[in-house]
């Protein structure tokens, strides 16, 4: 089980959190202009890389805030967490 550091509440056990997928996937500036394939890529395609990966988590049983976590997909190490609006370099 992970112990995840919520940037607002501090470290808590994983069952308090919900996973939210890859972080920093920007909503298209002009969705109407996208082809079906581009739209599908935005909706469904995510990186599946080995190494440090920025992902969203929600502290569902705590403060209910969304935040970001950097996790190493190779080792499962949680490198750190940071607030929405911050960049992965802010992870601690």
Which residues lie near another protein (CB under 8 A)? Answer: 8-13, 15-16, 61-65
Contact criterion met (CB below 8 Å) for 43 and 64: no
* Nearest distance from C-beta of residue 24 to another protein, angstroms: 21
Q: Which is nearer to another protein, 12 or 56 (CB)?
A: 12
Sheet containing 78-83, strands listed edge to edge, beginning at the edge strand earlier in sequence: 18-22, 52-58, 66-72, 78-83
* Nearest distance from C-beta of residue 2 to another protein, angstroms: 12
Handedness of CA 73, 52, 62, 58 (dihedral sign): negative
Rg of the chain taking only CA atoms, in angstroms: 14
Q: Which is nearer to another protein, 64 or 92 (CB)?
A: 64
Q: Which is nearer to another protein, 15 or 28 (CB)?
A: 15
* Nearest distance from C-beta of residue 4 to another protein, angstroms: 12
């Amino acid at each position: 089980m992970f112990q995840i550091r919520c940037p607002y509440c501090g470290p808590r056990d994983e069952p308090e959190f919900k996973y939210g997928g890859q972080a920093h996937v920007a909503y298209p500036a002009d969705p109407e202009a996208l082809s079906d394939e581009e739209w599908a890529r935005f909706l469904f395609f995510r990186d599946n890389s080995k190494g440090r990966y920025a992902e969203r988590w929600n502290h569902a049983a705590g403060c209910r805030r969304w935040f970001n976590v950097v996790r190493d997909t190779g080792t499962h190490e949680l490198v750190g967490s940071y607030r929405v609006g911050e960049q992965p370099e802010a992870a601690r």
